[in-house]
Structures are given as C-alpha cells and as structure tokens.
Amino acid sequence: MPKQRGKKYEAVAKAIERREQYEPDDAVRLVLKSSTSKFDGAIEAHLRLGVDPRHADQMVRGSVVLPHGTGKKRRVLVFASGEKAREAQEAGADIIGGEDLVKRIQEGWLDFDVALATPDMMGMVGRLGKILGPRGLMPNPRAGTVTMDIGRAVKDIQGGRIEYRVDKTGIIHSNIGKASYSESQLRDNLAALMDAVVRAKPASAKGQYLKSVFLSPTMGPSVPVDPVAAGRMS
C-alpha cells in the first residue's frame, strides 16, 4: 500500500522532478524549500559510491571541516592523560578521562557524539571496539580522531569538522547543515564534503565512483543531484 503523505509534503514534492538530476546550486535551493518540519531540521547528503566496502582497500572514510558547521552542538569525549588532558580541557572538550571512561562505556554509557584519543591511550580504548565501532564512534587515525594535537582536534570538531564513512551498502550519509542555512552556506558545506570524498577515492575503485547524490531534509522530499557536477564543485 503506498505511503500516505501530508498535504505540505505533496505540495513541495511537485516542485521536484524525480527523474531529473539537478545542478548542485539548483539542488541546494530546492532542498531548502522542500523542508516541511516546523523545527529547524537538518539537511543531509547521501552519496552512493562505486566501491565495495567489503574490501579494506575500498573503504572510504575520513574527516572534513565544513566551513559553516552542521548547526549542531556535539559532545566531545577525549581519552587523554596528563598535559594532553589539560590541553583538551582548555580547548573545550566535554568529557575527558582514561580507564574510568573505558569502564563507564563498557557499562553502557554513551552520552557523547564524538570520541578522540591520543595514540598512547589506544591500548585501553581498543577494548571498546565492539561497542564504539558499530556506532561510528571508535577513534581512528584515518579520521583524524587519534592524534597528539588533541587541542586542535577538539576545536576543529566544535568548529565544524565531521567524519564521513561509507556504510556496508556503499553509501555515505552526512549532515551538511540546517534548513535555516542560506543557499551559499549549504553550498559551501556540500562543496567541502564532495571535495573530501572525491580526494578519498581508493586507487582500487573501478568504473564510476560517484553513482548518485541526493540532498534530503529531516522532513520532506529528497532532491537528486547530478553526480558529475557535484564531483566538480571544489
């Protein structure tokens, strides 16, 4: 049975041609108009890649600083000790610790959005792989979340750095802003994400790399984007 849509959804959906692949600027304009939530909902980008994430050499992941952030305050947890713990505190980290935090997480506590760690802490943090890994919270050097420059990492995250990672179906899902953003702000953020993902293309990936790109509001219809044009935004 077809899913019933509200009148507001149906009204904005009429402005989007489902079989068309829009230029990025047009897609940004349309997705901002297509948000039907009464609250300031998120705008997400969904990128389907021509990779097979079952193979380690085709795993696409990394981090990128969005020029205008995501509009969401994120709780940053840092595994660090001594001087690096003080550095993280001064940079504005929300939760800092070591073995105590490992134990809390093992007991089921997960009240944070991003986890960072200094390299010397990864011996104990590694025990949390089965808990944090499936949730995308495990610190990883490739994502820039395992680093000695912990103060800068904290500031970057609070300033708009996000992590992206292809899921098991070959899709990257990423928040790129809010429905209240201007077209130029959202376009800048989308361009930054596209540039990072294109640069992260594995050497072993064959054929078309960017297969499809969609922009979606929290509530409202999604907008198809021309993947070739999106890949050239930077």
- At residue 3, the pLDDT reads 60
Taking every pair of C-alpha atoms in the chain, what is the biggest distance, in angstroms? Answer: 60
Question: Comparing C-alpha atoms, which of 2, 28, 9 is closest to residue 229?
Answer: 28
Q: Domains (ranges, CATH) in the chain?
A: 7-69+162-230 (3.30.190.20), 76-159 (3.40.50.790)
Average pLDDT of the chain is: 92
Average pLDDT over residues 103-122: 96
pLDDT at 1 over 50: no
CA distance 220 to 34: 6
Cα distances (Å, whole numbers) of residue 34 to 176, 213, 230: 15, 16, 19
- At residue 36, the pLDDT reads 87
Say which residue the tokens 């009464």 belong to.
Answer: 38
Question: Comparing C-alpha atoms, which of 145, 183, 138 is closest to residue 161?
Answer: 145
The confidence band for 74, taking pLDDT boundaries of 50, 70 and 90, is confident
Do the bridges between strand 161-165 and strand 95-97 make them parallel or antiparallel, or are there none, so unpaired?
unpaired
Average pLDDT over residues 55-82: 92
pLDDT at 127 over 90: yes
- The number of angstroms, rounded, from the C-alpha of 230 to the middle of its chain's C-alpha atoms is 17
**Encoded tokens for 34:** 């297509």
**Encoded tokens for 65:** 């600083």
CA distance 124 to 180: 41
- The number of angstroms, rounded, from the C-alpha of 128 to the middle of its chain's C-alpha atoms is 21
Helix H or strand E encompassing 9: helix 7-13
